[in-house]
Structure 1
Amino acid sequence: MWRPLLVVAVVALAGCSGLLASGGASPPDGQAVTPAPVPERTERPVALPRVAGDVAVDRVLERHDAALAGRSFHRHTEFAGPESTRDVWVDRDADVVRVQRRFGPLADDAIVTNGTLYRSVSDDPRTDYATLEATGTPYVATRSGVATLDRLFGVVEGYDRVGTVRRDGRPLAVVASNDTEVPLSGADPDQTVAVESRFYVDRQGIVRYVDHWARRSDGSTVHVRMRITTGLDRVPIPWWAEGIGVYD
């Protein structure tokens, strides 16, 4: 589905286009002419908020967070350098949320429902999970991922709209930045100095896909991919939580 750009990458969504040549020599007898690629149908642009000529990323993220506030969805995020993942499943109708955090072979898993947090337990053979009072969503700052996106996009001077594509039956605005000289603001070795970033926004304001690569001032790199799918029917229940009866 996704393949590496440098470490990892979001799928390339742009279609191909071509023009018919004019005035060329005729093909030899008996040989067929290979048709030129057909240009992709032009989509009606997806509206994006703007400020000072650039895409207003802060307002895009506000709309993204608000659009997911009333929807069931699955968010999958991959962080490379070091490599880890976060998965968030939200069933709004049943008030069930599951968050899974992976770092290499290690995994933390939790379910929140009806005001109770159920957390998987791997170091106690007497039980599969611990029960706590839910005070928020574990392992992530925000369910929608807006906190992560704000941290990634905030270091870039400006994002431009570079086109509109169709993915999974819906038009998406393509927003990108290629900032190879992000100014330093101090002696922090984790500062970002170069960015190649692209994200895709639908008509509801949801940031559906993200592909963000950054190089830091200490020479290290990080690559973040995010994918959000709406219309989730049920949260997948892991083996350790089967005894809870989440959907009973």
Structure 2
Amino acid sequence: MTSLLQQSLRSAGATARRVAETARGASQPRVAAARANCYSTATSPSSKPLQLYTAGTPNGHKVSILLEELQAQYGLRYDVHPIDISKGTQKEPWFIKLNPNGRIPVIVDPNRGDFAVFETAAILLYLEQHYDTQLKFSFDPQTRANEYSEMLQWMFFTHGGIGPMQGQANHFLKFAPEDIPYAKKRYLDETKRLYGVLNIRLDERDWLAGPGRGTYSIADMNAYPWVNSHSFSGIESMDEWPHVKAWLERTGERPAVKAGMQVP
């Protein structure tokens, strides 16, 4: 009786394994088919152009660079709506509906119900999620989780460090109604310190994220416009940071970067 029971259990186990293996084998074509049926609206003939509301600032150029890269890779189309920030257009009620913070850039995606996205890092990640289907400028967060995390770290380093510090340096150097030497020195020194951090990262590397010498990604696009505007912040030479200087030259040679820097 015990022997018969054991045989029955072994037979049931073998049957279960065959069923599981069959299911796994059947699921693979279904997964592959599902992935094959996924496509970027950027390459769909019926897709509508994304709407970009922007100005010629470092933050605006981050997004236009990625849009140009996606256009070159996938044929993504976008329309540009120049925003005159000197006249406060970004504070008008119609714009506040797109971004309650009243800042450029903003994109509106007519292919996803006129969905609006503001904050440059959020826009870059949104465009990567929905339009860079081959991950040309990012990393798979599942299969390349470490590289994806590196990319996010350097994006947030720029978003929380270089952008705010260099932006404040620009304000006190160029636009403040009174001369405040302490503020000018404070923010300019911090900008230079952050350039030094980038220089350490780019030692023996070409790009900010990825294994080996790195892979060009939205982390680089996010940082480039700010660092490239160093002369506006009173930093005439980048010789103090040779690896950053080489990275600037390398990035600036890309056709999409050149085009994106001319928008709007």
Q: Indicate the TM-score class for this superposition, using the shorter chain for normalisation.
A: under 0.3
Name the one with the larger strand percent: 1
Higher helix share: 2
